[in-house]
Amino acid sequence: MKRACLILTSLMVSATFTWAAEDYRVLATNKTSTMEKEMNDTAAAGYHFQGVMGGETGVGGNEVAVIMSKTSDAAPAKYSYKLLATQRTSTMEKELREAGLLGFQYRGQTVFKTAFGGEEIVVILERDGETAPKGGYDYRLLATTKTSTMQKELQEAAALGFTFVGVTVSKTAFGGKEIVSILRKQIE
């Protein structure tokens, strides 16, 4: 009797779980200006953003690599993407706020070495055509060379309703390193 119950329980558990097959696409380019188009073209085929990383690849040199996936039952064209890339944190914050008002949500960030020897902060934003909030999002970008300053600024932003979404360390125009944190809050 115990064995029959165990077999029956095993059959019920295995029948409960059905796994949709994942299909992955790796997008890589050394030009951030083309990545947004490639992401949106891939999203039109039902793929969804999974991760981003900038760095040197074996063949392509310095590239931004994006991983996208879809399940076998994915609906095409549900998501749209924006890629923001700049060396100036003030420009990044302005562009984040503009995209946030359109309902774009932070998904990932990295640092990318440009062909001209500088470093850009790259941020990936996603908008779900079905569930984007009507008011959009407000973004705050914090950048400093001191971790103690970053902690203080994070606490101040949290008191205003912002939540942390991502962080990178990048080289400043003056040759130093700065911590760049991005925070978001939903606009009601």
Please write the tens of the pLDDT for every residue from 59-107: 667 888 999 999 877 666 689 999 998 888 889 999 999 999 999 999 9
pLDDT of residue 10: 40
Nearest C-alpha neighbor of 136 from the set 106, 93, 171, 172: 106
| Cα–Cα distance for residue pair 94/102, rounded to 1 Å | 13
| Cα–Cα distance for residue pair 60/28, rounded to 1 Å | 8
Cβ atoms of residues 81 and 125 within 8 Å: yes
Low pLDDT (below 70) residues in the chain = 1-20, 59-60, 74-77, 114-117, 172-176
**pTM for this predicted structure:** 0.81
